[in-house]
Chain A
């Protein structure tokens, strides 16, 4: 419960011809996380490399085709034969031709869209000229001394283009501007048309493709432009219809292709990992020690005695490579998701999920204690369990904790007089609330410190466990300073002894930081001093951070009182109740969310960051339905 599942390093030796089948058997068991084989120099061959490459190509095309024309059932059936290299190659070639048709459809749709927007701009330009009574034909006709360009470009380019064409003696005159596009005329003396043309092209200039003669009138030109646009759109539609027909025609073959690739995926995934020599292949990886018997039995069923399966416990130098498999009950899974959002524990390290869940729920209740709000949150969590996708236990637990602490505080939807507080009404003694929050914080940090030491010991970092600021020396320093402060403020407990102990612990922490620094000694003193100060400040700022646990509950009570005050001002009984209901909804949604975020903040920064590196690797077994493209 507090540690990742014990793993073993697995070495599976099979005949080279059996390797693809072995990959499927291993994937069906779903317990092996493949890793680079040992002694790569002794096993120079990569028997699955070509297969993985072919798979990658075919998979890439299939994914793109399915993204272009999705199927209703995307899940492969995971049955049938494993393809060989020749089949995969043929499948890749066939998928490529299909994809080219899809790609052409996409390209012609893009062009059609471009054309549509271009024609729309041009039609607008023609309309404006028609209103002004200007014959564009006059401008477009070829002249002996004058070179004229009519077209459009992004507004942002106008100033720069004007300066550029001026170098060739041209003038740019903007005509209209709409949605960041300017329609303009560029004119100048003939002789440097190529130079101006090049500058305009560089500026995204779209020349107006007007007919040489506009004598037919703007309406006829407009009609011809729209006809041209329709032709382009129709062409795009035809291409896409062809793709649709292809999809209907080859729908079944695409399903078969997906099935085939799903079967091929495990062996492809082993492409860079399975190594061999001669007729033998070795597959290496990590598997839970408790499930090896199942794998052995499945291999025996398929290959009889034609395999060798060896297992050993991970060596100390391999700890960083071993994946962490964490198994949690459905109740803990939402909390595990929050922990994995921070990081995955390294193999062997303490899994903080249970502690995280317990402290999260307790702090949520302490900060948002209200019987009414809590029960309502729990009921909503239970009723909406299906929609919450596994988050229901999290919501229900938070709701129940809120209700529990609400009973302790004697608060029901903000009414303080309905239930007698089991412990204390927060506003009756806010100081006591703050002191309790402070003690909670001290306890939380001490537990985090002990866990940090535990993780150091598990990772064989004994010096860190004893001498680091987050190790025993740091904890002693923290506890001694707390005792010293207690003596100073309250006059109880040890005084002198505490300060002497704190000074000794601080010296140890400082000395250890200095020892760890590899640079110049003068710099080392400075760095060690800064790190030691940071350690001390860190402990106490983190402790004070827990005052928010009480502050948010006090805030909740005050907010509820404000809602009730507003409700008392509302007219009539109905108005009063409406104000109470709306106020409580507001409190639950807004304050509930804020409290959840604050608790998460405390957990991450004051808790996990103290003892949890989160640099582990998640256990990702080879499975049939993983179907991912291999790393190659």
Chain B
């Protein structure tokens, strides 16, 4: 069956949901808005047009409600999928749970109080597989890792144990979790059938490329890791940044040199960038732009769903940045920068 017929329902759904995404100008007006900003942010967070469910939302923070909304959209889309496509998207949704896992591991490794760690977690509702209460109730890191080994995240636990025992920097936990996530995401792409794989493969490979490039810059120039270790820590699943090129890039000694050796698709937007922070913003923005293009194109099927979810996550991050920025009384320009709509290199 052709994709247009197979995914007719999902395409309609995605189109309807995508109409609720916000343009940069709308985010900008939220940043500048004065009255009742919480409500405005909630409305912007895709609550518009939905029946308010006061009972369900009771007691949830603004951020939790935004995430709950995102998960609700996610559930609607995933419900209509089956087989390998469903597995792919269910695994994609694990990114929120992995973010919880990183928070718990990092928090426990620096002896943060359980209540403080809990406050930073995303409520995964029925999608949660992490025994959060048990993990937070552990006495020390050793107990935490033993408990984690009895969950589907046993492999992460083993890697975290090595990082902890070798007293490595905490970013190593994030890197290990991300590496595993993208490698497995790529495996899920491989298990899709022909047309789905052809459609989704390039988008996921682009995500992996951007993540690899970002981590390469961070490892080499923020954390000072040597080339061999840097290369090993990257995900071998990109499309533009093939292993040989990554090996060459890992050997280079400055951000400018790395950018100069990149393929045009990355080199052009990154031209002139000198710091890893700026590169992060540009790479993220590039990924979002690619997703926007897919959503605006005549593409049908899984790539369209993934593009929507990527942009939905972007909206979530932007709204969180606006909410936090306004709560802490930051200047509008700073909030704009945090949301990615006013970075120095965004215009490129």
- A491 sits at the interface (CB 8 A): no
Q: Of the candidates B140, B143, B159, B251, which one forms a contact with A167 in the assembled complex, judged by CB atoms under 8 Å apart? A: B251
Contact (Cβ within 8 A) A202 B55: no
Chain B contacts of A146 at CB under 8 A?
Answer: none
Instruction: Given A167-B247, A168-B226, A201-B162, verify A160-B232 contact (CB < 8 Å).
Output: yes
Contact (Cβ within 8 A) A167 B227: yes
Q: For the A-B complex with A167-B228, A168-B228, A196-B228 known, give 18 more contacts whose Cβ atoms are closer than 8 Å.
A: A60-B137, A100-B139, A106-B143, A160-B236, A163-B243, A164-B229, A167-B231, A167-B250, A167-B251, A192-B228, A198-B225, A201-B166, A202-B229, A202-B233, A204-B158, A320-B55, A518-B51, A519-B49
Instruction: Given A167-B247, A194-B226, A320-B55, verify A203-B146 contact (CB < 8 Å).
Output: no
What separation, in Å, do the CA atoms of A519 and B16 have in the docked complex? 12
Interface residues of A: mostly helix, strand, loop or mixed?
Answer: helix
Name the interface residues of A82-110: CB closer than 8 Å to any CB of B.
96, 99-100, 103, 106-107, 110
Contact (Cβ within 8 A) B228 A199: yes
Could you name 22 residue pairs across A and B whose Cβ atoms are closer than 8 Å? A96-B139, A103-B140, A103-B143, A106-B146, A107-B146, A160-B232, A160-B236, A163-B231, A167-B227, A167-B231, A168-B228, A194-B226, A195-B226, A195-B227, A195-B228, A199-B228, A199-B229, A199-B232, A202-B232, A203-B232, A204-B158, A204-B159
What separation, in Å, do the CA atoms of A106 and B251 have in the docked complex? 43
Chain A contacts of B229 at CB under 8 A?
Answer: 164, 195, 198-199, 202
Chain B contacts of A201 at CB under 8 A?
Answer: 162, 166
Residue of A nearest to B159 (CB): A204
Contact (Cβ within 8 A) B225 A164: no
Name the interface residues of B139-192: CB closer than 8 Å to any CB of A.
139-140, 142-143, 146, 158-159, 162, 166
Residue of B nearest to A204 (CB): B162
How far apart are A205's CB and chain B's nearest CB, in angstroms?
10
How far apart are A529's CB and chain B's nearest CB, in angstroms?
14
Instruction: Given A103-B139, A519-B49, verify A164-B166 contact (CB < 8 Å).
Output: no
Q: Of the candidates A106, A160, A198, A518, which one forms a contact with B49 in the assembled complex, judged by CB atoms under 8 Å apart? A: A518
How far apart are A65's CB and chain B's nearest CB, in angstroms?
12
- A165 sits at the interface (CB 8 A): yes
Name the interface residues of A318-352: CB closer than 8 Å to any CB of B.
320
Q: Which 4 residue pairs spanning A and B have beta carbons closest together?
A: A195-B226, A164-B232, A199-B228, A198-B229
Chain B contacts of A204 at CB under 8 A?
Answer: 158-159, 162
What separation, in Å, do the CA atoms of A176 and B162 have in the docked complex? 24
Chain A contacts of B236 at CB under 8 A?
Answer: 160
Chain A contacts of B226 at CB under 8 A?
Answer: 168, 192, 194-195, 198-199
Q: Of the candidates B51, B139, B158, B247, which one forms a contact with A163 in the assembled complex, judged by CB atoms under 8 Å apart? A: B247
What separation, in Å, do the CA atoms of A100 and B228 have in the docked complex? 40
Residue of B nearest to A106 (CB): B146
B interface residues, Cβ below 8 angstroms from A: 49, 51, 55, 137, 139-140, 142-143, 146, 158-159, 162, 166, 225-229, 231-233, 236, 243, 247, 250-251
What separation, in Å, do the CA atoms of A110 and B229 have in the docked complex? 28
A-B contact count (CB 8 A): 66
How far apart are B13's CB and chain A's nearest CB, in angstroms?
13
- A161 sits at the interface (CB 8 A): yes
Chain A contacts of B231 at CB under 8 A?
Answer: 163-164, 167, 199
How far apart are A552's CB and chain B's nearest CB, in angstroms?
27
Residue of B nearest to A104 (CB): B142
A interface residues, Cβ below 8 angstroms from B: 60, 96, 99-100, 103, 106-107, 110, 160-161, 163-168, 170, 192, 194-196, 198-199, 201-204, 320, 518-519
Chain B CB count within 10 A is highest, among A167, A170, A195, for A167
Interface residues of B: mostly helix, strand, loop or mixed?
Answer: helix
What separation, in Å, do the CA atoms of A50 and B49 have in the docked complex? 42
Residue of B nearest to A195 (CB): B226
Chain B contacts of A198 at CB under 8 A?
Answer: 225-226, 228-229
Chain B contacts of A160 at CB under 8 A?
Answer: 232, 236
What separation, in Å, do the CA atoms of A106 and B139 have in the docked complex? 13
Chain B contacts of A199 at CB under 8 A?
Answer: 226, 228-229, 231-232
Chain B contacts of A96 at CB under 8 A?
Answer: 139
How far apart are B137's CB and chain A's nearest CB, in angstroms?
5
Chain A contacts of B251 at CB under 8 A?
Answer: 167
How far apart are B344's CB and chain A's nearest CB, in angstroms?
33
Chain B contacts of A167 at CB under 8 A?
Answer: 227-228, 231, 247, 250-251
Chain A contacts of B159 at CB under 8 A?
Answer: 204
What separation, in Å, do the CA atoms of A164 and B55 have in the docked complex? 54
Instruction: Given A195-B229, A519-B49, verify A110-B146 contact (CB < 8 Å).
Output: yes
Chain A contacts of B232 at CB under 8 A?
Answer: 160-161, 164, 199, 202-203
Q: Of the candidates A99, A194, A196, A518, which one forms a contact with B139 in the assembled complex, judged by CB atoms under 8 Å apart? A: A99
Contact (Cβ within 8 A) B228 A165: yes
What separation, in Å, do the CA atoms of A194 and B224 have in the docked complex? 13
What separation, in Å, do the CA atoms of A192 and B226 have in the docked complex? 9
Contact (Cβ within 8 A) A107 B228: no
What separation, in Å, do the CA atoms of A163 and B247 have in the docked complex? 8
What separation, in Å, do the CA atoms of A110 and B146 have in the docked complex? 9
How far apart are B179's CB and chain A's nearest CB, in angstroms?
10
How far apart are B261's CB and chain A's nearest CB, in angstroms?
15
How far apart are B220's CB and chain A's nearest CB, in angstroms?
12
How far apart are B32's CB and chain A's nearest CB, in angstroms?
28
What separation, in Å, do the CA atoms of A231 and B162 have in the docked complex? 23
Residue of B nearest to A161 (CB): B232
How far apart are A84's CB and chain B's nearest CB, in angstroms?
24
How far apart are A287's CB and chain B's nearest CB, in angstroms?
22
How far apart are B257's CB and chain A's nearest CB, in angstroms?
16
Chain B contacts of A196 at CB under 8 A?
Answer: 228
Chain A contacts of B51 at CB under 8 A?
Answer: 518
What separation, in Å, do the CA atoms of A199 and B146 have in the docked complex? 25
Chain B contacts of A320 at CB under 8 A?
Answer: 55
Q: Of the candidates B143, B227, B243, which one forms a contact with A168 in the assembled complex, judged by CB atoms under 8 Å apart? A: B227
Q: Of the candidates B139, B146, B158, B228, which one forms a contact with A164 in the assembled complex, judged by CB atoms under 8 Å apart? A: B228
How far apart are B341's CB and chain A's nearest CB, in angstroms?
28
What separation, in Å, do the CA atoms of A518 and B51 have in the docked complex? 9
How far apart are B192's CB and chain A's nearest CB, in angstroms?
21
Chain A contacts of B55 at CB under 8 A?
Answer: 320
How far apart are B197's CB and chain A's nearest CB, in angstroms?
22
What separation, in Å, do the CA atoms of A447 and B146 have in the docked complex? 54
What separation, in Å, do the CA atoms of A194 and B159 have in the docked complex? 20
How far apart are B164's CB and chain A's nearest CB, in angstroms?
13
How far apart are A37's CB and chain B's nearest CB, in angstroms?
15
What separation, in Å, do the CA atoms of A202 and B180 have in the docked complex? 13
Chain B contacts of A192 at CB under 8 A?
Answer: 226, 228
How far apart are A460's CB and chain B's nearest CB, in angstroms?
17
How far apart are B117's CB and chain A's nearest CB, in angstroms?
15
What separation, in Å, do the CA atoms of A107 and B243 have in the docked complex? 39
What separation, in Å, do the CA atoms of A110 and B144 have in the docked complex? 13
What separation, in Å, do the CA atoms of A107 and B147 have in the docked complex? 11
Residue of B nearest to A157 (CB): B232
How far apart are A342's CB and chain B's nearest CB, in angstroms?
16
How far apart are B232's CB and chain A's nearest CB, in angstroms?
4
What separation, in Å, do the CA atoms of A281 and B250 have in the docked complex? 66
Chain B contacts of A100 at CB under 8 A?
Answer: 139
How far apart are B253's CB and chain A's nearest CB, in angstroms?
13
Chain B contacts of A203 at CB under 8 A?
Answer: 232
Residue of A nearest to B49 (CB): A519
Residue of A nearest to B225 (CB): A198
Chain B contacts of A103 at CB under 8 A?
Answer: 139-140, 142-143
Chain B CB count within 10 A is highest, among A99, A103, A170, A192, for A103
